[in-house]
Amino acid sequence: MSPSPERRRELLATAAEVFAAQGYDATSVRRIADAAGMLAGSLYYHFDSKDSIVEEILRGFLDELWGRYDTVLAAGHEPRETMRALVTESFREIDRHGPAVAIYQKESKALAARERFAFLAASQRKFEQTWLTTLQEGVAAGAFRADLDIRLTYRFVRDTVWVAASWYRPGGRHSPEEIAREYLAMVLDGIAQPHHP
Amino acid sequence: MSPSPERRRELLATAAEVFAAQGYDATSVRRIADAAGMLAGSLYYHFDSKDSIVEEILRGFLDELWGRYDTVLAAGHEPRETMRALVTESFREIDRHGPAVAIYQKESKALAARERFAFLAASQRKFEQTWLTTLQEGVAAGAFRADLDIRLTYRFVRDTVWVAASWYRPGGRHSPEEIAREYLAMVLDGIAQPHHP
Amino acid sequence: MSPSPERRRELLATAAEVFAAQGYDATSVRRIADAAGMLAGSLYYHFDSKDSIVEEILRGFLDELWGRYDTVLAAGHEPRETMRALVTESFREIDRHGPAVAIYQKESKALAARERFAFLAASQRKFEQTWLTTLQEGVAAGAFRADLDIRLTYRFVRDTVWVAASWYRPGGRHSPEEIAREYLAMVLDGIAQPHHP
Amino acid sequence: MSPSPERRRELLATAAEVFAAQGYDATSVRRIADAAGMLAGSLYYHFDSKDSIVEEILRGFLDELWGRYDTVLAAGHEPRETMRALVTESFREIDRHGPAVAIYQKESKALAARERFAFLAASQRKFEQTWLTTLQEGVAAGAFRADLDIRLTYRFVRDTVWVAASWYRPGGRHSPEEIAREYLAMVLDGIAQPHHP
DNA sequence: CATGAATGAGGGTTCATTCAT
DNA sequence: AATGAATGAACCCTCATTCAT
């Protein structure tokens, strides 16, 4: 539609930041336009609607994420390594597209109920499948404890990873790889001192 | 203020469910009134404003929660037991007031910026203090690994616990105590099989 | 309707004060009820509606006023004395029912357009008639200047008298009779020093 | 703010007429929009709020008025001439901005209590100062009667001048200068035939 | 590309009024 | 006589969206 995809990308980045900071419903189109240095009406030259803006933000994020996830999964690692790679890619995604992830984390549940955002529900199902499979295979292979409640563990893992988007700031003290390592250490081996009485 | 606290409590429960399901900003006062079987204007006989409704929901939740937390902390357990008790109380609170916790989890960041909701920021600081202290004492006592990044661990723990409010349904397959146990097993001892190569 | 006319009169006095202080439209029924120490709905035991309250206030004021005016007019004084008596009665009315007069002064123009308040327009016409006649007779009798613009003078006189209700406080430094005397001195003989060059 | 001051001025004139006719509180924003041939919401493209509309109307009126008053006062006339000039300017202002003056006359007392409209109270104080000084100097110079009650006279003069806005119609039988002359004749020399027994 | 001006729906809220108790 | 609770209409205002320029 618009002849300048760069301007589009700039506007999407601006919108994502505002959406992430204030919430989708609480953010007015005018607020985004202000941040972009234009009038509200002018945004409609670039986008069809407010909905289409979040949609594009979320699709962009999920497309990129699944590109990386699929590469990881196609590599056919053993479960522990698969988990490590998925978690690392997730934190990298937070590093690259923090606002988009924050929007996904906060708004996707409400948005997914609407037809336009059915892709969110689809992605979520695929996500769940991926993790459940990985965890099950890990248990089967003896890499993970045999007494794990797989669904519960999946939920904990999923939430902790994404919720990091709400506090992570790029360029801060920890690189995404460091955070991933720390997180995996906690989840895999626990925070308790092993042979403590 | 209003001499019928029962009706108030009913209305607060109704409002909490709607807020939790749709988000605070996306929920109109009319929507709440519908769910309560009355007209929008009638809500204003019981409450001053939409803001005052969430405020009361959140204050009620935090007051009860801190009552229990303070009891735990006053008991002077060793760090591992303190952690166990705090996590268990948290899941119990989710069991009792799921919607309130979900609202807290999703909206408190945006709300806390407003003067009216300064108590949210205060509670958050106290929360952080409590966990950081518990973790530090645990490390000092040799109960937790010496190489923990305390702040990072705090964030992971905090988020995973509260985010459970978004999927937990009371009366489901798992009691809050079971979920707490499972969660603690994961966080304390990890999900990895201990002596796996 | 109500078996206690005293309570009614109290309530009317209270309402008149609030209406005078804040304006009819800006005053809510609840505000009046607050001032009377009851709930808004309870007022409807005594009165049919908000309109009926002002109506009763204004009718009471005009009935009393016209009672006095009619007595003055029936006395058949010469024009100057008639004017003096009318002005004095007006300031006495302000002294007795200041709030009612203030309401009349501020709201009657807007209210008079409505059928229910047609008596206001009727009173205004009678008022105008009375003053025009008095002034004309005064001119004819040589008591007032021959070159007066009667209608203009009527308007000035009418407005200045009633507008005093907006600042007059009973029990203040000036009695209504004093104010009337001062006012008449100004209007009849002017404020200028007679033989000033 | 808005780059089309003409439209703004048109809308302000329309709003002033409606406010003057019905009263500020009794006038809905929708009513103004109707009179302007647009929808209620559209007014908010031009103005921040209903309050800001009256504010701009009243500020415009007072700014212009004080511009003229200050010129008169700076000329250093003798008291009688000052009074004549002030009254004449007042009626001219009514001629030019009748609705604004009518709003000022009817609503300023209630509005002045609010912080936003503090400039009304300030103007009123300056107004009072100006008239009291003029009258006092007139008495001192022997131009006005020595036995005048200055404050009382000020109130009468102030009210009669402004209250004329409630009946004056531009383009009618009397020019503002004629009305001023008639008014001054009454106030200065009285309406009584001088040597009447 | 962007603006200026408007629309129409819906937002939170207030209010006069009603009525069973 | 008065309360407690509710109604329904209207209020001021915000918002996503449109479109001629």
Query: Has residue D19 got a pLDDT over 70?
Result: yes
Structure-model confidence comparison of residues B50 and C193, the more confident one? B50
Cβ within 8 Å, pair B191-A144? yes
What local confidence, expressed as pLDDT, does residue B1 receive? Answer: 44
For residue D45, say whether its CB is under 7 Å from any atom of strand E.
Answer: yes
**Chain C positions touching chain D (beta carbons under 8 Å):** 22-23, 25-26, 80, 106-107, 109-110, 142-146, 148-149, 152-153, 155-156, 159-160, 163-164, 166-167, 174, 179, 182-183, 186-194, 196
Give D39: exposed, middle or buried? Use CB within 10 Å, 0-12, 13-18, 19+.
exposed
Long-range Cβ contact pairs of B23-26 (< 8 A, separation 24 or more): B23/A23, B23/A25, B23/A107, B23/A110, B23/B106, B23/B107, B24/B54, B24/B103, B24/B106, B24/B107, B24/B111, B25/A23, B25/A25, B25/A26, B26/A25, B26/A110
Query: Has residue B63 got a pLDDT over 90?
Result: yes
CATH number of B49-189: 1.10.357.10
Residue appearing with tokens 């707490």: B180
Give the model's confidence band at B4: pLDDT under 50 very low, under 70 low, under 90 confident, else very high: confident
What local confidence, expressed as pLDDT, does residue B118 receive? Answer: 97
Query: Has residue B173 got a pLDDT over 80?
Result: yes
Query: Has residue A123 got a pLDDT over 50?
Result: yes
* Closest CA in chain C for residue D189: C190
Domain A51-189: CATH architecture, name and number where available: Orthogonal Bundle (1.10)
**CA gap A153, A159 in Å, rounded:** 10
What local confidence, expressed as pLDDT, does residue D135 receive? Answer: 95
For residue A46, say whether its CB is under 7 Å from any atom of strand E.
Answer: yes
- A181 contact partners, CB below 8 Å, separation of at least 6: none
Q: List C-alpha distances in Å: D126 to D31, D80, D154.
A: 34, 19, 13
Q: Which residues pair with B40 in a beta bridge?
A: none
In percent, the amount of chain B with pLDDT more than 90 equals 77
Q: How far is the CA of B15 from the C1' of F4 (A)?
A: 21
Give the model's confidence band at B3: pLDDT under 50 very low, under 70 low, under 90 confident, else very high: low
Query: Has residue A65 got a pLDDT over 90?
Result: yes
Per-residue pLDDT reduced to its tens digit, D146-180: 999 999 999 988 988 898 888 889 988 899 999 99
**CA gap D104, D98 in Å, rounded:** 10
Query: Has residue B197 got a pLDDT over 60?
Result: no
Per-residue pLDDT reduced to its tens digit, C62-85: 999 999 999 999 999 999 999 999
Q: Taking a C-beta distance cutoff of 8 angstroms, is the pair A64, A93 a contact?
A: yes
Domains of chain C, residue spans: 50-189
**CA gap D126, D27 in Å, rounded:** 30
Note the strand F nucleotides within 7 A of protein beta carbons.
1-20
**CA gap B17, B149 in Å, rounded:** 36
Per-residue pLDDT reduced to its tens digit, D49-93: 999 999 999 999 999 999 999 999 999 999 999 999 999 999 999
Lowest mean pLDDT among A154-163, C113-122, D24-33: A154-163
Per-residue pLDDT reduced to its tens digit, C135-152: 999 999 999 999 999 999
- D76 contact partners, CB below 8 Å, separation of at least 6: none
Give the model's confidence band at B22: pLDDT under 50 very low, under 70 low, under 90 confident, else very high: very high
Q: How far is the CA of A43 from the C1' of E8 (A)?
A: 20
Residue A25 has φ and ψ, to the nearest 5°, of -70, -35
Tell me how close the Cα of C11 comes to any Cα of chain D, in angstroms: 23
What local confidence, expressed as pLDDT, does residue A197 receive? Answer: 55
Q: Taking a C-beta distance cutoff of 8 angstroms, is the pair A54, A116 a contact?
A: no
How many angstroms separate the first and last alpha carbons of chain A? Answer: 66
pLDDT by residue for chain C (197 residues), tens digit each? 456 788 999 999 999 999 999 999 999 999 999 999 999 999 999 999 999 999 999 999 999 999 999 999 999 999 999 999 999 999 999 999 999 999 999 999 999 999 999 999 999 999 999 999 999 999 999 999 999 999 999 998 898 889 888 888 888 889 999 999 999 999 999 878 876 55
Lowest mean pLDDT among A130-134, C37-41, D193-197: D193-197
What local confidence, expressed as pLDDT, does residue C62 receive? Answer: 97
Per-residue pLDDT reduced to its tens digit, A15-45: 999 999 999 999 999 999 999 999 999 999 9
What local confidence, expressed as pLDDT, does residue D156 receive? Answer: 87
Which residues of A are less than 8 Å from B191 in CB distance? 144-145, 148, 153, 187-188
What local confidence, expressed as pLDDT, does residue B195 receive? Answer: 58
Domain C50-189: CATH architecture, name and number where available: Orthogonal Bundle (1.10)
CA–C1' nearest nucleotide, residue B2: F4
Query: Has residue A195 got a pLDDT over 70?
Result: no
